[in-house]
Structure 1
Amino acid sequence: MVNAAYTGQIKVRFADTDANGHTYFGSYLVLADEVVSEYLAQVGWDGGTDGDFLTFTVNANIDFVGECMAWDILEVSCRFTKIGNSSCALEFEMLNTSTNEVATRGSFTYVFVDKATRKSRPIPQAIKTAIIAAQPELAG
């Protein structure tokens, strides 16, 4: 992925595969989320469990480009593509390091909500500032 803000690796476990022996389609989102969560933690976003907000994943998209098998190592690259008042979007790409081919491309959209009311609320300024510090192209 060009201009990735964060890249991490994750191994496809046997439990992530289906009866055909390749990675089950739903497992790709879980694997991507594991690495994306590392980036979110890096910018100080813990999911809101300690604050007055929560984040809901309101959209997840994925395109399947290649195949992965048990024990393949995936290099997951990600970056935010949009940061708004109460929501943000992030894209990811998964490279199968065993074949050096892209396995998937996708995105997640998150909305920040008030923990008590479950209504949309602004992204906490500390998180917004950290995201923009990691990705200055999102400023403005």
Structure 2
Amino acid sequence: MSERPAPSIRDAYRVFRAIPTRWLDNDIYGHMNNAVHYTLFDTSVNCWLIENGLLDIHGGDRIGLVVETGCRYFAEMGYPDMITSGLKVAKLGTSSVRYEIGLFRNDETVAAAEGFFVHVYVDKKTRKPAPLETPFRRALEGISA
């Protein structure tokens, strides 16, 4: 069995977003349900893409489909915590991107959870992989680790 990686610190990420937790994020055990972590990952990635003019969810020709995802949990989070998500690009392919996201509880500097999403960008109509265009690739390179 391999050794469990240690959680990252905030400096490992390139861009950040504050996301408040909600009452409904807690589960019966009194902490944030594991499925909420994936919602926060999705929010972090897609908000960054939209804010940077890289994703038009209504009129764009290209969309990113999640083909792989994962999460490591290091510490509990829950309502009423303020979560800061850190985002970076770990790998760029021809039509794919591996985004890595750290979730930080309140003002803590060590990640409470870390995860990743691999998006394959496809033509919205055909669902066939579409190469990353130069401006899109350059923007992603700007937040690469």
TM-score (norm 2): 0.83
Q: How far apart are the structure 2 equivalents of 1:99 and 1:125?
A: 36
Aligned to 2:74: 65
Q: Which amino acid aligns with 1:108?
A: F
Alignment root-mean-square deviation, CA: 2.0
Q: What code does the residue aligned with 1:83 have? A: L
Correspondence for 1:12: 21
The 8 Å contact of residues 22 and 68 in structure 1, kept in 2 or not, is answered as yes
- Structure 2, gaps ≥5 residues long: 1-9
Q: For residues 5 and 42 of structure 1, do their structure 2 counterparts lie closer, same or farther at Cα, with a shift above 3 Å needed?
A: farther
Match of 1:107 in 2: 116
Asked if 2 retains the 8 angstrom alpha-carbon contact of 1:75 and 1:96, the reply is: yes
- Cα displacement (A) at 1:62: 0.4
Q: Which residue of 1 aligns with 2:31?
A: 22
Q: Please say if residues 48 and 55 of structure 1, whose CA atoms lie closer than 8 Å, have aligned partners that are also in contact.
A: no
Residues 1:43 and 2:58 are matched in the alignment: no
Q: TM-score, normalised by structure 1?
A: 0.85
Gaps of 5+ in 1: none
Number of residue pairs aligned between Structure 1 and Structure 2: 136
> Is 1:121 the equivalent of 2:130?
yes
Q: Once the two structures are aligned, what percentage of the paired residues are identical?
A: 24
The aligned residue for residue 95 of structure 1 is 104
TM-aligned CA deviation for residue 3 of structure 1? 4.0
The one-letter amino acid paired with 2:23 is: F
Structure 1 CA distance for aligned equivalents of residues 36 and 94 of structure 2: 31
Aligned CA distance change for structure 1 residues 117 and 17 (closer, same or farther; 3 Å): same
- TM superposition shift of 1:101: 4.8
